[in-house]
Chain A
């Protein structure tokens, strides 16, 4: 099974600050996918990104960006100019094995954006 570490349990920043959420994973697979999900207080999981291990280019989507470093097994997530609506728990998750296997979620990082 894959292992995921999200060392930051809770982060609190003031609105408009940039914030980076860390994710470190372990895997014996040579190819794999990495995911980030957002869980707002309402509970549903919001898909943010799926990254193939072949693709090491950083990705940017609006205020969100992801830095994938295969050499250090890290897949960090940055929110620029944070907003109160970004307040949520963020989970990093690689597949358990590969393909259509269930996800192994990290413990999540609770992000609090203060107005």
Chain B
């Protein structure tokens, strides 16, 4: 079946630094990638949608300069949290939409802690 690999699974960084999260589709081409954020005991909130080779579309209220999304190939999308602050601490999870009827395939998530 379709698999999406997300790394790292956990990361702790210092306030002011940047963190990159990778999401790879291993056995299918992900034409569209979605990035979600989840606060503790809360639902998942869609942050942005990216299509390969295009600029990402951000949801209302999501700072595009804070959360940089790159979708340079059909198998890789990255989310970079720039100048991270403690309030950026959260669970981030990607989802890939691919051709061939796979539908939505989710990565395993990244728990980011900014100290």
Contact = CB atoms under 8 A, between A and B. Distances in A.
Interface stretch (B68-76, B77-85, B103-111): B103-111
B108 A105 contact: no
Contact of A103 (B42, B104, B108, B111): B104
Contacts of B103: 33, 47, 50
Interface string A23-44: 0000000000101010000011
Interface residues of A, number: 19
Contacts, number: 48
B97 A45 contact: no
A107 B106 contact: no
Question: Does more than half of chain B's interface fall in helix, strand or loop, or is it mixed?
Answer: strand
A43 to B, nearest CB: 5
B106 A100 contact: no
A35 B97 CA distance: 14
Interface of A: 33, 35, 37, 43-45, 47, 50, 91, 96, 100-108
Contacts of A44: 93, 106-109
B31 A102 contact: no
A61 to B, nearest CB: 15
A104 B46 contact: yes
B33 to A, nearest CB: 10
Interface in B90-115: 91, 93, 95, 97, 103-109, 111
A107 B45 CA distance: 10
Contact of B44 (A33, A50, A91, A101): A91
Given A100-B31, A100-B32, A47 B46 contact: no
A4 to B, nearest CB: 9
B43 interface: yes
A107 B93 contact: no
Contacts of A35: 104
